[in-house]
Every structure is written in structure tokens, then in C-alpha cells.
Amino acid sequence: MNEKESYSDVLVIGAGIAGIEASLLLSNSGRKVHLVEKTSYTGGTVIKFEEVFSNMECSTCMVAPIQQELLQDKNINLVMLAEIEDVKGSFGNFTVKIRKKARYVDLQNCIGCNACFEPCPVSLKNEFEEGLGERKAIYVPCAGALPNVPMIDTEHCLRFNGKECKACQEACMFEAIDFNQKDEQLELKVGAIIAATGFNIFDTKKTPNYGYGKIDDVYNAFEFERLYSSNGPTEGNILLKNGKPPKSAAIIHCVGRDQEGYCSSVCCMYSLKFNHYLKSKIPEIVISEFYTDLCIPGKSHQKFYEKMKETGTDIIRFKEIEIEKQGKGMSVKYNNGKKKNSLPVDMVILAPAIEPREDAPKLAKALGISLDEYGFFKEEHPDVSSVTTSKPGVFIAGCVQGPKNIQNSVSQANAAVGKILSLFN
């Protein structure tokens, strides 16, 4: 380390499962952590899921305790609605500029009673619910979000658009709503940085052969997760657009694999999980899984597949596939290498590839690290060192480095912490 002053605090970017695990472990060691999160809640993508493979553990039950721990941890400064603007300096001595948007709801005063939602006159599609549910201009993304404190969407709130509405403020018994909050510029001094900003899923509109966006009842994986979630827009009822439960469904793997140029490693497993979701809610449903290569690596996954096979699901390897509208419904036209087939189904679920977030280039630039050819954050060495980057002091964990499951994301988060504690005492 150079002669400049060095700081022991650590900046963690992204409060998903990797960021939370890294922050808690650092805090446990006595380090002070600044955890910067872009949204108004913690938990990242994992809280969109009702259950996680292969034990089908309830996802919220798995994550909520560590979210609570995070919120109560005095070593962790959780900065929400915030983004990294600029990073200067080197290992041991980084200066980070952060832009933090005002929430307009006081985190201390708000008790999460949600009384402010009902009187809000603005209704919008809820992004967290993939547009399948609605929210108000003051909202939490879903029931059970942590912290259970709403935010005001100033783009749509009447008050921030020249009207005199203060319905939410009047409904609040705790003086928690403060229209005078201002956006802030923060400057932090930290010794090391862990970037754990997660992933996006491939835009299934780019593969028109699947009918997504054109044919009713074709869903992508995130939409289907929310349809199954007990805190989702249908309270966990899997229903078609016409309000009836589907009698048959097709789950299509590898959507966007060719376009992205890699196997996203988790899609086969979560597609098998979807099979379980459907069977558990609609036992008589007929399911077909369309796949190219079954990729279920590791000691615990095949037994999950074997169990799924027992349910009578048709497992079909396809070479070409297309979803076509047929009368009021649709059918899957596919070629299995031997002949062309057609299968009418009520519902189609697409398993899209994992891809980098759209803001990955901006963050990589601010951090002074490079992206790989796919747009993920580039690790120092693909064979051996997946959590270090070309820049000392900047570490990466989770899907920001490449597609992976929760277990490997958590391991990377812990490993990044290990590097920091080992290199930088």
C-alpha cells in the first residue's frame, strides 16, 4: 500500500443476494460497509422467486432473515435509490461519488403500514411485477419488500407534476412523508469495492419465433415467477388471460442462447422448477419441456430432474421451434430432428438467457475495469481468479461476472470478502 492514507471501509454495489452476503460478512469482521443499491428495496432478483431449486425452499423465507439482519446491522450503511457516478483513486484509497435520489418517505418515521397507497390517485403498471400488476405513485414493489418503506415515483406523482395533491401525506399518521427531501450527492472514502449488480434476462422480443408480445399467454421466466408468487399480482394463481387455469403448457429452454453465444447455466434447472410450480398448483396439467441440451450440473440437480420425469412430463429435444397462433389458442411447431410436429398448448413459458445489465458499461467505466466480449464484468483470469479484476481493489461477485446460480454467487461474494480481508488488513 502506498503512503497515502488508507481506508478500511468497503463499498458494496448492489443489494442482491451477493451484495447482502458480502456486506454481512464484512460487517461481521468489524468492517464498516457502504451498501449502495439502485432500487428502493433489498434482495435483488431472488425476491422475485417464490421458491428456489433444488430443495424448493421458499425464497422469501430464505432471504428475509438476512435482509432483516442487514437492516439492523450498525456497521452497514445502506444507501438506496443510489447510483455510482464516479470512482477515483486506488486500492486502499478510493473516492466514490454517489448520486442518491430522494425517497420522499422518511425511513425512521415510516412504520410500513401502507396507509398512503390507497388514497394515491395515480395507478401504474408495476415494473417489479413485470407489468402484470399495478402500483400507485407511492409504493413498495411487492408485499413483504424490505425495508417495508415506500418511495414516491416523481415521474408520475401528481404533486411533482404541478398538481396540488397531498393525499398520501394526509393519510400518513407518522409524518413520514416529506416532499421537501432533495436528491443528494454523496462522497465516500473506501479502501475496496465489490461490484455485485446482477443481471438482466434476454429480451424475448428479439426472437419473434416464440410469439412473445404477439400471442397471449406467452410468458417469460420473470413473468411466470411473479404469476406463481403468493405475493404477486394473482396471489399465486396461475391463470390464462381468459381467467381460466391452463390445461397444458410448454416450457421452452435456451431462448436467446444462440443470440448471446453461451449457455446461461441456470435455465434448465429453473425450467424444471417451473414444471414443479405448474404441477403443484394444477396437478392435471399436461406439460412439455422443449430443450436442446440438458445442462443440470452438480451433485444435487439430477435427482430433481428424475423426480420431474416421474410426473409424466414430455421432454422433447428440439432443433427448430416456433409458436403460432391457432384459432383462439396457440401451438408449438417444432422439429425434433426426425420430423416436424405440432402441439397445441394453452400457455408457453420461455426461459431466456441471462445477459449483462444495460448499465454495466457505465459502471465498469466508472470503476475503471473492462467488460468481456459479452458485456459482463471481466475477471482477472477465467481459469483461476473469477472475483478479482484487472484493477486492484475492485472485486466482482455474482451474475455481474457471468451467469450462475445462487450458490455460486454467494461463494463469489464470500471469496471477494476473503480477498479484501486477506490483502488489506
Partner 1 sequence: MERKIGVYVCECGPNIAEKVDIDKVVGAVSSLDGVVVVEKYKLLCSADGKKFLEEEIKKHGITHLVIAACSPKQHEKTFMEVCENAGINPYLYQLANIREQCAWITEDKDEATKKAIRLIKAAIGRVKYHSSLEKKEIECNPAVLIIGGGVAGINASLELASPDRKIYLVEKTSSLGGMITNFEKTYPSMQPSSHILKQKILDMDKNENIQVFIDSNVEEIIGFFGNFEIKVKKKEVDEPAEFEVGAVMLATGSNFFDLKKTPQYGYEKFDNIFTALEFEKMNLSGEISLKNGKTPRSVAIIHCVGRDEKGYCSEICCMYSLKFIRYLKDKIPDAQVSNFYSDLCIPGKSYQKFYEQTKGKNVDFIRSTNVEVTKKENKLSIKYIDENGNKNSLLVDMVILAPAIEPTSDVSELAEIAGISQGDGGFFAEEHEKLNPVSTSTDGVYIVGCAQGPKNISDTIVQSGAAAGKILASLIPGKKMEIEVKTSHISESFCIGCKVCISVCSYGAITFDEAKKISVVNEVICRGCGNCVAACPSGAATSKHFTFKQIHQELLEAVK
| Residues within window 350-379 making contact with partner 1, judged by CB under 8 A | 372-374, 376
* C-beta of residue 53 within 8 angstroms of C-beta of residue 44: no
Helix axes 267-281, 302-309, angle to 10 degrees: 40
Q: DSSP class of residue 305?
A: H
Residues from 186 through 225 that contact partner 1 (CB under 8 A) = none
DSSP-derived secondary structure for 345-364: ESEEEEEEPEE--TTHHHHH
Shortest Å distance, C-beta 294 to partner 1: 4
185 vs 425, which CB is nearer to partner 1? 425
68 vs 123, which CB is nearer to partner 1? 68
Distance of alpha carbon 223 from alpha carbon 205, whole angstroms: 14
Binding test (CB under 8 A) with partner 1, winner from 283, 328, 338, 358? 338
Shortest Å distance, C-beta 7 to partner 1: 18
Pairing of strands 134-136, 218-220: unpaired
Task: Find how far residue 350's CA is from the centre of its chain.
Answer: 17
68 vs 161, which CB is nearer to partner 1? 68
Shortest Å distance, C-beta 263 to partner 1: 5
Shortest Å distance, C-beta 96 to partner 1: 22
68 vs 95, which CB is nearer to partner 1? 68
Cα 395 to Cα 14, 126, 372, 388, distances in angstroms? 13, 33, 15, 5
213 vs 297, which CB is nearer to partner 1? 297
Q: Is 402 in the site for partner 1 (CB under 8 A)?
A: yes
DSSP-derived secondary structure for 65-90: HHHHHHHH-TTEEEE-SEEEEEEEEE
156 vs 419, which CB is nearer to partner 1? 419
Q: Is 231 in the site for partner 1 (CB under 8 A)?
A: no
Q: 328: helix, coil or strand?
A: coil
302 vs 311, which CB is nearer to partner 1? 302
Q: Is 385 in the site for partner 1 (CB under 8 A)?
A: yes
Binding mask 245-284 for partner 1 (x = CB under 8 A): ------------x---xxxxx-------------------
Q: DSSP class of residue 245?
A: P
Q: Is 143 in the site for partner 1 (CB under 8 A)?
A: no
Residues from 8 through 47 that contact partner 1 (CB under 8 A) = 17, 21, 25-26, 28-30
The strand ranges marked E within 373-414 are 394-396
Residues from 42 through 101 that contact partner 1 (CB under 8 A) = 52, 54-55, 57, 62, 66, 68, 72
Shortest Å distance, C-beta 373 to partner 1: 8
Q: Is 118 in the site for partner 1 (CB under 8 A)?
A: no
Side-chain-facing half-sphere of 383: CA atoms under 13 Å: 0
Binding test (CB under 8 A) with partner 1, winner from 109, 169, 181, 237? 109
- At a CB cut-off of 8 Å and minimum separation 6, what does 365 contact? none
Q: Is 414 in the site for partner 1 (CB under 8 A)?
A: yes
Distance of alpha carbon 394 from alpha carbon 402, whole angstroms: 16
Side-chain-facing half-sphere of 112: CA atoms under 13 Å: 12
Contacting range for partner 1; rule: CB under 8 A; set: 156-164, 213-221, 341-349, 414-422: 414-422
158 vs 421, which CB is nearer to partner 1? 421
Closest to 146 in 3D by CA, of 67, 37, 59: 67
Phi/psi zone of residue 421: left (φ > 0), alpha (ψ -120 to 50 degrees), beta?
alpha
Binding test (CB under 8 A) with partner 1, winner from 97, 99, 166, 419? 419
Q: Is 299 in the site for partner 1 (CB under 8 A)?
A: yes
